[in-house]
Amino acid sequence: MKMYFYIVLVALFMSCSSDDDINYDAKNEADIVKYIADNNLSATKSNSGLYYIISSEGNGTRPTVTSNVKVAYKGYFLNGDIFDQNTAGVEFNLQEVIKGWTEGITYFKEGGKGVLLVPSKLGYGSNGRSGIPGGSVLIFDINLLEVN
């Protein structure tokens, strides 16, 4: 009987869902659509669920998902709170960033500007990271400075 109790206890413990199992897709979609409407924006939705706004496409080279780029940006939440920014620009390979950037930056040409509205599945997922809660929609004002 004692062994049966422990087996049931272990089974119950293992069946508890963790944050890894939370699916924020529907909530993120509703939140992004509301943000777009509330701010009178016109955004395009990609097949992945990324929303983007091209305010200036740019006239230089268009990056691929493996390009090295230099980007000036401001990252903020739906409520406007800024969690990160770099106005001078930071260089990186598009394979080394969140999926929303890997995809979204390719919609711009060098010199292009716009906004990426990134659902959590293309950002930091349900786990989040330092200063970014799990399940968060992330918004980025983007200025693609260079494509190398």
Residue 55 has pLDDT above 70, yes or no: yes
Q: How confident is the model at residue 19 (pLDDT cuts 50, 70, 90)?
A: very low
Which region, left, alpha or beta, applies to residue 121 given φ > 0 means left and ψ of -120 to 50 means alpha? alpha
pLDDT in tens, 60-70: 999 999 999 99
Q: For position 4, what pLDDT does the model report?
A: 44
Beta bridge mates, 115: 53, 141
**Percent of the chain scored above 90 by pLDDT?**
84
Q: CB neighbours (10 Å) of residue 116?
A: 26
Work out the end-to-end distance of the chain between its first and last CA atoms, rounded to an integer number of angstroms.
67
* pTM for the predicted model, two decimal places: 0.86
Q: How confident is the model at residue 11 (pLDDT cuts 50, 70, 90)?
A: very low
Average pLDDT of every residue of the chain: 90
pLDDT in tens, 107-128: 999 999 999 999 999 999 999 9
The residue whose two tokens read 């009987």 is: 1
Q: Where are the domains of the chain?
A: 21-147
**Alpha-carbon distance values, 16 to 19, 21, 22, 23, 96 (Å):** 10, 10, 12, 15, 32
CATH fold label, 21-147: Chitinase A; domain 3 (3.10.50)
Mean pLDDT, rounded, for 97-101 = 98
Residue 85 has pLDDT above 60, yes or no: yes
